[in-house]
Amino acid sequence: MTDCNKTVTIDGLPTRDSATSDDFLIVHKSGQTSKVRVSDFVLGADNVDFYPDLAAMLDRITQLETIIQTSSGNWNSTHTTTSSNSGQWSTLTTEDQQTIKNTLEQNVTKWTDTANTVDTYKTVWNNTHEIVMSSVDDWNSAHNTIQINSENWNQAYQSTQDGMAAIHEALETIETSPWFELYAGSNSLAYSVYTTVNTNSANWS
């Protein structure tokens, strides 16, 4: 009977190093004590101070998942290409290795010259980048001007095309008119004079 009436405090309970989903947690609030099964205990934004860190980690995982899903096709293609050509890697002969070595030795000075040229002009390239960046607003302005006036250029081009068509039509009308044949055609006086001069020009010399 004495054991049944013994008061047990929370501090007097034994400590465990682990818990299973079927175990219970003791919850005390406003003078009321109850138990919650571990499997029903939910950690959320309202009851843990590290929830923002969990949310940030979840966002990173989602981003990685998107990148992995997007690029997975390339990995499959790379694997297929690698598997298809792997047999050829072991076919490199001693002669091939010597040829590669000779090629490297013959061109090493060119690579050195290239490296020296890059190192010499790298400051110029930096200046070029700065000039480009300082002028980018002007290019944007020019682009905007082109966009704004492009319709006018289209109209001018169409007007030019229409004008050329009108000129050709006028020339055709002139060439088929009676007076053109009379004064400039193959039976005209002018053409007759031209033919006579052209025929006798050799005698002048």
**pLDDT over threshold 80, residue 187:** no
**pLDDT over threshold 80, residue 92:** no
C-alpha–C-alpha distance, residues 191 and 194, integer Å = 5
Mean residue pLDDT across the chain: 80
Residues 121-165: pLDDT tens digits? Answer: 888 887 887 888 888 888 888 888 888 887 788 888 888 888 888
**Whole-structure pTM value:** 0.26
How many angstroms separate the Cα of 16 from the Cα of each of 23, 24, 25, 179, 193?
A: 11, 12, 12, 121, 128
- Number of domains composing the chain: 1
Flag whether 183 is in a domain: yes
Average pLDDT of the residues in 161-188: 74
Flag whether 180 is in a domain: yes
* Structural domain boundaries enclosing 167: 154-199
Question: Which has the higher per-residue pLDDT, 58 or 173?
Answer: 58
Flag whether 171 is in a domain: yes
The DSSP bridge pattern shows strands 24-29 and 32-37 to be: antiparallel
Flag whether 56 is in a domain: no
Flag whether 159 is in a domain: yes
Calculate Rg over the CA atoms of the chain.
46
Residue 14 structure tokens:
């034994």
Residues 25-70: pLDDT tens digits? Answer: 888 888 788 888 888 877 777 767 788 888 889 899 988 888 888 8
Flag whether 194 is in a domain: yes
Count other Cβ atoms within 10 Å, centred on residue 192.
Answer: 11
